[in-house]
Copies of this chain bind each other. A is one copy, B any other.
Amino acid sequence: MTSDVTIGVCYYPEHWPEAMWADDAKRMRAAGISRVRIGEFAWSRFEPDPGHLDLDWLGRAIDTLHAQGLGVILGTPTATPPKWLVDKMPDMLAVGDDGRVRGFGSRRHYCFSHAGYRRECARIVRALAERFGKHPGVVAWQTDNEYGCHNTVRSYSESAKLGFRHWLKARYGTVQALNEAWGNVFWSMEYRSFDEIDLPTGAVTETSPPHRVDFDRYSSDQVREFNRVQTEIIRALSPGRDIMHNFMTFHVDFDHYDAMEDMDVATWDSYPLGSLDVFPGEAAHKAAYARTGDPDMQAFHHDLYRGTGRGRFGIMEQQPGPVNWASYNTDAAPGLVRLWGMEGFAHGAEMVSYFRWRQAPFAQEQFHAALNRPDNAPDRAYFEVRELSRDLAALGALGAAAPAKVAIVHSYEAHWFLREQPQGRNFSYIEQVFSLYRALRRLGLDIDIVGPEAPLSGYALVLLPSTPYVPPRLAASLDAFEGTLLVMPRSGSRTASHRIPDNLAPGPLAAKLGIKVTRVESFRSYSAVPVLYDNQQAWFDRWREFVEGEAVVVAQTGDGQAALTRKDRAWYLAGFPDAGFLDRLVARLAGEAGIETQALPRGLRSRRRGAHRYFFNYGPEPVDVSDFAGGAFVLGSAALGVGGVAVTREER
């Protein structure tokens, strides 16, 4: 019973003397590694001078790895065009919303809209694919690297401006239609031709939300088109190889579902400690998990990208210890490097790849830990990865991720709508989605995070986070959904063109929910609105709505307004709940939907895959998981130490 998953590592042969390569490959193999990502960022070595390709060294590197049975994931180097290329076409650089060119000297210095740069990318990708596309050692491709990192999706360049005008013309046909759709009569913003339209930046005060939402859509489309230039070449020249991209944490600037339509496996870069440090959160929470990572953040992205990859996903870069890019860079507690990897597999990953093989002693990331130290001694992560590979061997084939009974419907467009017109500064779409996820997962549930076009009929419980624009297909599938449904506030409050619908919110969901939203308010936490729910005090702490309609009022605010309504099995929450309120509500809905739950201790989390259930202890104390485990332990035991992993064989 061999393993159906792989362990990988990111490797930069160009950083090291060729004499080290063979030993590196051998030691990778010894650690249980079978996948090696190489090549991304190496354009200045692929093409040291304009038009003079040098791919021989890459061939030798691939051969060396292949000789040890390692499968290469070949990265395209388009995230780091060399200086000579930038000097040749300086207008390929992106421009910030402050009007300043974003220059050479780090990475991602290009504008997605620039046709000339797309041609250069096609040229270098074709050269790589022609040479290595059918090499037996090349098992997959990664396009570019971390699209959108460093806030690079939206560029305010001349190329983007012209492209946007073209895109608008295609979308609206006539400028009159655009004026009508955007409501440009307001403040005399009407245009007489598409050539009058600028990018939505640099105005005296707020630009029009539909203008910005359309620019968000346009920019997202450019990422997909940019990527497709590469995938089409690779498809043609490297048959049978998976195409992947490495997505990021809480990144919402382009529509990943859309981009994934041209690829096979959704991978992501998991940096639990760096991400905990840089994303918003309360100090006490960050302190508690400073050396383990948030107990839900990794799982959230596993479930998110499993959905994005239509079931196929992996981790392309897994944090191996301290990183270099957070404001503060803590060490990982012992065992966590293994735990994070195993958690990825528990959620269905087909690969967990660690970043990177050996710590670079130079340049920007020299503080980034690796499996090996800069002096080539194996570091702690090396041993934890080796232990993980032995765990996998012991478990055998892992099977498929267990089907979930609960789904959260997730949408990039919803984020853009709420970002462009938040109305209250503390209203964050992605934070809300994550809070819904966390509330469900504390109950021991397996969760699917699905896109707005995914079928919902198989679920017992569906949660729709605040989704201002509910497109027709989603409206239809929600309408047809027969399970328990929770709709969060602001859903259906806007049309595709970011207008208030004629029938007010929730727009197309009005019949399903039996309500109409007549007024909204946002506020700071000190102006929270009290809610009485199940005879307990609860709060709307950022947002609340006034609703009317035929739905049954299940809970009321302190001033007698409807706070929670239901019409049959369709529930509507007329505000942004505090965490305790959300926990209780979600537990109740799960109960109504007939889903069994377990209230897990603080730092304990679990997931099912194949015949197994996996337990992970993120907390500061050992935990006894006997009460939660439904089967015999095949890895670890009921006494789960700090940073510990246990696996049971479920009886079902």
- List the interface of chain A (C-beta within 8 A of B): 14-15, 41-45, 48-49, 77, 80-84, 87, 94, 98-109, 149-150, 152, 182-192, 196, 198, 200-211, 283, 286-287, 290-291, 321-322, 324-325, 327-331, 359-367, 369, 373-375, 377, 379-380, 421, 423-426, 497-504, 518-524, 526-527
A331 to B184, CA, bound (A): 27
Residue of B nearest to A186 (CB): B363
Residue of B nearest to A42 (CB): B188
Other-chain residue from B77, B185, B203, B322 in contact with A521 (beta carbon distance below 8 A): B322
Q: How often does this chain occur in the complex, in copies?
A: 3
Whether A421 pairs with B367 at a CB distance below 8 angstroms is yes
Q: Which residues of B contact A106 (CB under 8 A)?
A: 187, 189, 203-208
Whether A102 pairs with B203 at a CB distance below 8 angstroms is yes
Whether B361 pairs with A44 at a CB distance below 8 angstroms is no
Other-chain residue from B107, B203, B522 in contact with A205 (beta carbon distance below 8 A): B107
- Some 28 contacts from A to B, beta carbons below 8 A apart, are A14-B185, A15-B186, A41-B186, A44-B188, A81-B188, A82-B190, A84-B192, A87-B196, A98-B100, A104-B189, A149-B205, A150-B204, A152-B204, A186-B360, A207-B364, A209-B363, A209-B366, A287-B524, A290-B523, A328-B425, A329-B424, A329-B522, A330-B521, A331-B521, A359-B500, A366-B499, A373-B518, A379-B518
Q: How far is the CB of A423 from chain B (nearest CB, A)?
A: 5
In the complex with contacts A202-B103, A362-B210, A328-B41 CB distance below 8 A = no
Q: How far is the CB of A627 from chain B (nearest CB, A)?
A: 30
Q: Which residues of B contact A49 (CB under 8 A)?
A: 192
A374 to B424, CA, bound (A): 20
Other-chain residue from B107, B187, B208 in contact with A187 (beta carbon distance below 8 A): B107
Other-chain residue from B101, B198, B379 in contact with A202 (beta carbon distance below 8 A): B101
Q: How far is the CB of A223 from chain B (nearest CB, A)?
A: 15
Other-chain residue from B198, B504, B520 in contact with A104 (beta carbon distance below 8 A): B198
A44 to B175, CA, bound (A): 14
Other-chain residue from B44, B103, B287, B324 in contact with A203 (beta carbon distance below 8 A): B103
Q: How far is the CB of A218 from chain B (nearest CB, A)?
A: 16
Q: Is the interface of A mostly helix, strand, loop or mixed?
A: loop
Whether A331 pairs with B519 at a CB distance below 8 angstroms is yes
Residue of B nearest to A283 (CB): B526
Whether A423 pairs with B184 at a CB distance below 8 angstroms is no
Q: How far is the CB of A290 from chain B (nearest CB, A)?
A: 4
Whether B189 pairs with A360 at a CB distance below 8 angstroms is no
A98 to B96, CA, bound (A): 12
Q: Which residues of B contact A497 (CB under 8 A)?
A: 362
Residue of B nearest to A426 (CB): B328
Q: How far is the CB of A75 from chain B (nearest CB, A)?
A: 12
Whether B187 pairs with A361 at a CB distance below 8 angstroms is no
A149 to B187, CA, bound (A): 14
Whether A204 pairs with B94 at a CB distance below 8 angstroms is yes
A363 to B523, CA, bound (A): 22
In the complex with contacts A43-B188, A519-B379, A527-B330 CB distance below 8 A = yes
Q: How far is the CB of A67 from chain B (nearest CB, A)?
A: 24
Q: How far is the CB of A132 from chain B (nearest CB, A)?
A: 18
Q: Which residues of B contact A150 (CB under 8 A)?
A: 204-205
In the complex with contacts A99-B100, A189-B44, A287-B77 CB distance below 8 A = no
Q: Which residues of B contact A42 (CB under 8 A)?
A: 185, 188
Whether A109 pairs with B204 at a CB distance below 8 angstroms is yes
Q: Which residues of B contact A379 (CB under 8 A)?
A: 518-519
Q: How far is the CB of A357 from chain B (nearest CB, A)?
A: 14
Residue of B nearest to A212 (CB): B105
